[in-house]
Chains A and B, each alone.
Chain A
Amino acid sequence: MMSVSGFKEGLKVSELRGSLCEECENLMLPPRMICNRCGSTNLKEFCIEGKGKIKTKTVIHVPLTKFQDLCPYTVGIIELDEGPMITGMIIGDVKNVKIGNKVEAVYLDEEEEKILAFRIID
């Protein structure tokens, strides 16, 4: 399986695709071609449910030009229930967002591709 392209294909169908190492059972998200723990290439696709909690976050006030219309917006790093962490936009009650808040993955439409985001659920 390809790594970045496989991940982006997954986002299009609202799936968080990672890879599981058949040798050492390391779970990786985004997916990889080589296990970053044992070096094995014997990996299989593994879908992650998309629930987790906020590990860290920030509110962007000076945006990338592509995101100008959304500014200010919240982004962060999410620790998923299965273990791996992933980067995403954070939506919902962002005014009161805190590290540790529970979130679930949502897939936002943005022109041709989907943007990975997480909605605050508590």
Chain B
Amino acid sequence: MIGAGMTRFHHKIHGDKQSRELFVEAALEAVSSVDNGIKLKDLESLYLGYFSSDMFEKQGHTGALIADALGVNPIPATRVEAACASSGAAVNLGIIAIASGIYDKVLVGGVEKMRTLGTGEVTDTLAMASDVSYEAAVGFTFPGLYAAMAEAHFNRYGSTWEQLADISIKNHDNGKLNDKAQYQESILEIANKIGERKGLKYSDPMEFLRSDLNPMIADPLRLFDCCPISDGAAAVILTSEETAKKYTDTPVYIAGIGQASDAMALHDRAELTSLKASKLASKQAYKMANIKPKDVNVACVHDCFTIAEILAVEDLGFFKPGEGGKAASEGRTRIDGEIPINTDGGLKAKGHPVGATGAGMVVEIFKQLRGEADERQVADPVYGLAHNVGATGGTVTMQVFKR
């Protein structure tokens, strides 16, 4: 990996900008991050994650559309759709393309333009990533499916909503340190901003999170357990190992990748308290990298809902099943903790433009492993990973990176 860039993820600032404009902005930043310089024209193939240009922009064929906007014709341009793991899958395809020897320099990334629709229509569109015929058909929303997993986790392990809230607080604290994050404020700051309008003052974020100002979305998940709706794009430039050294003295190496699929509907899974595809994808990636979970120094994991971060830190082997929530409450996953999780703010605070999220995680790991993460820099990391989940785990992708 020789370059990486992204737009800020945000629900307002991008206004009427289309996906092509967002992705061009991210790609130009990736190009400018290459130490010895590179031109977009030098790249040989594009793999682009985009979940639902069809619903959000009433536009299909977005691989070619965005290649056109980048001015990189006639290189092959392929859109990859795997729900929220669309760009995680695109990154893996770029890596496999280079490993195959067919291409040497590849642009990967993702984009989602979501704020063309209102919350109701966004909820409908996201539910399309569930098994629509069986899950959305009886009224399950996407937050509802994660809420059902949270209930099962609470019931089996005695984990609590307060642990979920601690994850949200931690990710907002991290987002505050990231100028690309949608929310760069702590929950306490947001609480007092919202409270001011109602003549309320908070000294404890929990007090706000327990109040009606944090409404229930799908029991037990409240608004601040859910990632926001966002527009954004992220882009990463990959090359073979020999070529990378021509472009920079400090490339980030891909040590291992993994990917797995699972039954679409939760009712077809043996367990509701973990994601089998996360376990399998991480096992593959650790094995290829020849490391163990304890060797990882920084991780971006898929926290579309707070419960998802608990499932992830357990499935990836950082903590035992049932102990992920407790670990967050004890501060073990903070930037200065034993395994910093979601230093960029996670999906919760950084934002979740669905198709851009997996590549956005890779941008963060690129910065962390090069020591370029400013105030949120983890001390001297060697290994970092990105873990991207499609919907409720029908797809999971992983990459392990080494500096």
Contact = CB atoms under 8 A, between A and B. Distances in A.
Interface of A: 4, 7-8, 30, 36, 55-68, 70, 73, 75-78, 84-89, 99, 115-117
B218 interface: yes
Interface in B216-273: 216-221, 263, 265-268, 272
Given A56-B151, A77-B148, A99-B155, A70 B139 contact: yes
A68 B149 CA distance: 23
User: What does DSSP make chain A's interface, helix, strand, loop or mixed?
Assistant: strand
Given A56-B151, A58-B147, A77 B267 contact: yes
A85 B268 contact: yes
Given A60-B218, A87-B140, A87-B267, 17 more contacts: A7-B134, A36-B268, A56-B151, A56-B272, A60-B139, A60-B140, A62-B217, A64-B124, A64-B141, A65-B123, A75-B139, A75-B148, A84-B267, A87-B265, A89-B138, A89-B139, A99-B151
Interface residue tally on B, bucketed by range: 35 or more
B219 A117 contact: no
Contacts of B136: 64
A116 B265 CA distance: 15
The listed residue with most A CB atoms (<10 A of its CB), out of B137, B141, B215, B266, is B137
Nearest to B151: A56
B382 interface: no
A58 B151 contact: yes
A65 B139 contact: no
Given A75-B139, A86-B134, A87-B138, A55 B152 contact: yes
A54 to B, nearest CB: 10
Given A64-B136, A88-B138, A117-B138, A59 B272 contact: no
B73 interface: no
A112 B148 CA distance: 28
B219 A59 contact: yes
B138 A115 contact: yes
B127 interface: yes
Contacts of A117: 138
A116 B217 CA distance: 22
B162 interface: no
Contacts of A55: 152, 272
A58 B134 CA distance: 16
Interface string B147-170: 111111001000000000000000
B219 A64 contact: no
A88 B148 CA distance: 12
B139 A61 contact: no
A66 B150 CA distance: 25
A70 B144 CA distance: 15
15 contacts: A4-B133, A55-B272, A56-B155, A58-B148, A58-B218, A58-B221, A60-B144, A61-B218, A62-B141, A62-B217, A64-B124, A65-B120, A77-B267, A78-B267, A86-B267
Nearest to B126: A64
A61 B151 contact: no
B364 interface: no
B161 to A, nearest CB: 13
A56 B152 contact: yes
Contacts of B216: 59, 61
The listed residue with most A CB atoms (<10 A of its CB), out of B135, B138, B143, B218, is B138
B336 interface: no
A89 B134 CA distance: 11
A75 B151 contact: no
A64 B134 CA distance: 14
B267 A85 contact: yes
B219 A67 contact: no
B36 to A, nearest CB: 49
A87 B266 contact: yes
A88 B137 CA distance: 9
Which 3 A/B pairs are nearest by Cβ-Cβ distance?
A58-B147, A85-B267, A56-B152
B148 A57 contact: yes
Contacts of B144: 58, 60, 75
Contact of A67 (B139, B151, B217, B268): B139
A84 to B, nearest CB: 8
Given A56-B272, A61-B219, A75-B140, A87 B152 contact: no
Contacts of A84: 267
B32 interface: no
A73 B266 contact: no
The listed residue with most A CB atoms (<10 A of its CB), out of B134, B143, B152, is B134
B139 A58 contact: no
A87 B135 contact: yes
A117 B93 CA distance: 41
A77 B137 CA distance: 13
B269 to A, nearest CB: 8
